[in-house]
Structure 1
């Protein structure tokens, strides 16, 4: 690369609970074509492939929000510039923490996990979280979804066959701890799910909600967006009314990805 060639802006993709980092492959290809330099690191204990991670579920167990954030900070520290961070589900929560901490130039939080201060707890969200929260012992364990549970939590807005295909292709065991931490955030003075939403000197943030999402119902995503009302920094919200929690994985992924790219261009990032 010659001295006059601009260095591509790095992008860090952060996946959510129960999904492998390889699920960002299509997004990475699209962002690379758009001139960015994307990477998609896994969560602590996650193996290089879906199959390997499934064979060793104990490795991902008992890692909480702080540990996941710290692992991505270590990745970011090795980059040549502040990245754009794009996160889905709990990855969206992590993206907000990284942006507020000054570690990202911009962030996109897609169906983001519940941050401290969000009040709505819809019944659909409770049902989607029951595979973990129904047993207190799951806090220190890795938990896997069944096809039926995945269908409700992720694949309810796509055909059954596609939901099953996504389940077979991308699902992995996930640590229970982040769900317990998020669900009790409003009762904890030092919750790892806390984000400084009042900062003025951060980069731009885009929050995306899916209107048919069960895991993070749109009312939860919108409530997170409203917490930023006192900040003078750019904070935008976009709803996709017909999309469920699988919106970054399923056949309609590019609609979401294209929207995020257009938004980043508008921010000059």
Structure 2
């Protein structure tokens, strides 16, 4: 008897961008018959422009990873079925943490921030992450990427006009504390434990989360005896959700989802 895949998808947003980054994905997956939601983070239920104008925003600055995990966990538990979880960046880390708690039927982590203990000294990673970590600056103030930082950390390889349009459409201020939390025990995964099927994807051009980090993350699951797959996409930067190639990625993920039901 063939398993029927769940038809609800929860999109989990990463840091530095509004949840409107999923709009095209939601429309596309909706056309494929899926019910989708992309809840905003706490204190971010406004347009990116309004959130930028609120910087420095003390409420956003106070966001911590454990509370954000609870925020999504409570939403998932309220659904009538275990959903498919799709997250980007810190959202990909949250997908892994929710699967660890048995809260998803399937999980897809797109260019995921790695769990605790997975690190690299690659220059692009250190350069992209130094400002958001905000060491030696007040954690009571949000961090807002400059356009120059955005060009390097998110939209490298795109035309200046595309970079500018993406910045004004999606960029928002962020909590320095939540970025710091990703290297603490709040981001700990017990890799050897069984988990629902998980797909990790990466991009060869991602400065913020180099593909080598995502591959190292994938390899950590090798003793779990659970379905864990990995795919690196050529030319994808950290703005992968909004690149012109996004539909190719979405199709690959959809094929992977439907394969799990066979």
**What TM-score do the two structures reach when normalised by structure 2?**
0.93
Q: What is aligned with 1:9?
A: 7
2:256 is the alignment partner of 1:266:
no
Structure 2 counterparts to residues 33-182 of structure 1, below 5 A: 33-56=31-54, 57-182=57-182
How far did residue 63 of structure 1 move? 1.0
Q: What is aligned with 2:23?
A: 25
How far did residue 33 of structure 1 move? 1.2
How far did residue 127 of structure 1 move? 0.5
SS across alignment from 1:169: helix
Structure 2 counterparts to residues 184-223 of structure 1, below 5 A: 184-185=183-184, 191-200=185-194, 202-223=195-216
2:228 is the alignment partner of 1:235:
yes
How far did residue 8 of structure 1 move? 6.2
Distance 1:127 1:162 in 2: 22
SS across alignment from 2:241: coil
How far did residue 64 of structure 1 move? 1.6
CA contact (8 A) 1:118 1:224 kept: yes
Q: What is the count of residue pairs matched by the alignment?
A: 257
Q: What is aligned with 1:249?
A: 242
SS across alignment from 1:12: strand
Q: Deviations over 1:14-68 (max 9, x none)?
A: 1111000011001111111111110000111112322332233322112121111
Q: What is aligned with 1:3?
A: none
**What TM-score do the two structures reach when normalised by structure 1?**
0.90
Distance 2:47 2:224 in 1: 40
Distance 2:150 2:199 in 1: 26
- In structure 1, runs of 5+ residues without a counterpart are 1-5, 186-190
How far did residue 262 of structure 1 move? 0.8
How far did residue 256 of structure 1 move? 1.1
How far did residue 133 of structure 1 move? 2.6
SS across alignment from 1:124: helix
How far did residue 138 of structure 1 move? 4.3
